[in-house]
Amino acid sequence: KMNLKRVSPILERETETELLNLAPKPWKILKCLETDIVFLENPPGYEALKEEFAWEKTYQSEVESKKNAEPLRYKVSSFAKDYRHKVLKRNKVKDLTKKCILKKQNQEIIQLLDVGCAEGEALETIISELPSSYHSKCIPNGIEISAELASKAKINANRGIWVHNNAVNGMLEFQDSFFDVVVLSSFLEHEINPLSLLKNTFIKLKEEGNVIIKVPNFDSWNRHLRKEKWCGFRHPDHVNYFTPKTLKHISLRSGFKKFSMGFLDRQPLSDSMYAVLEK
């Protein structure tokens, strides 16, 4: 199976690059010296990502290898995650999504999209936690590349449009200016053509719409400390590694005029960062 040979994901052309010694062979992580974007040069193509490297298959093996390599660190990290979600009830993507939806209270219908929707439950969960007046007017939709997960999403859904396709082409299956809120949670790091996806998202978003992004933060202190052992690396299905600077660059380059990212959205102690885009 042929691997791709990618160029700078922000400029979509060949640039001068530096090879970073952060991935095991045969994978090659490069840094574009014009923009500082860090990316996997030679990932498998969409077909392999659809089946062989589908998220639901690689996630479990990644968990096992981390558990075996550093059992104590894995236990501490899992405990911290559970504590954040179950005890503190903190889920930043969910909170940002709700905030964006609540601003649209005067609309009769609010169209939502989850890109990389897996089994399609995330948006319904968010809708269920909103005031009851929003329950029927919020319509969840999804795009999913994995055949198995996409078919589960369609079975689970009782409304909305659920597309089985890669994100770039899947986005084109919707009408222009259709969405009020698009969620790209832990997704852009997987997308081989992130600029094209953001450009297509721009076209499908309403004038007052929002895009919510969560990606690993390549500039986090933990990444600098842990180097190639950083938890944000997943070879080969993470193909882009963003910093606050490069995420802003690609967002503005794709047409968005407003890029919101406060200090708490990119604080260096967190391995994740968050942004909200507007036209």
| Contact criterion met (CB below 8 Å) for 221 and 271 | no
Determine the pLDDT at residue 2.
60
* Amino acid symbol at 157: A
pLDDT in tens, the chain (279 residues): 567 899 999 999 999 999 999 999 999 999 999 999 999 999 987 666 555 555 555 556 655 665 666 666 546 555 555 544 454 446 899 999 999 999 998 899 999 999 999 999 999 999 999 999 999 999 999 999 888 889 999 898 889 999 999 999 999 999 999 999 999 999 999 999 999 999 999 999 999 999 999 999 999 999 999 999 999 999 988 999 999 999 999 999 999 999 999 999 999 999 999 999 999
Determine the pLDDT at residue 181.
98
Determine the pLDDT at residue 83.
47
Determine the pLDDT at residue 89.
43
Determine the pLDDT at residue 157.
87
Enter the pTM of the model: 0.85
| DSSP letter for each residue of the chain | -PBP----TTT-S---EEEES-S-TT--EEEETTT--EEESS-B-HHHHHTTT-HHHHHHHHHHHHHHH-HHHHHHHHHHHHIIIIIS---HHHHHHHHHHHTTTT-S-EEEEEET-TTS-HHHHHHHTS-GGGTTTEEEEEEE--HHHHHHHHHH-SSS-EEES-HHHHHTTSPTT-EEEEEEET-GGG-S-HHHHHHHHHHHEEEEEEEEEEEE-TTSHHHHHHGGG-TT--TTT--EE--HHHHHHHHHHTT-SEEE--GGGS-TT-SEEEEEEE-
Q: Return d(Cα 79, Cα 77) in angstroms, integer.
A: 5
Q: Return d(Cα 178, Cα 204) in angstroms, integer.
A: 5
| Contact criterion met (CB below 8 Å) for 179 and 206 | yes
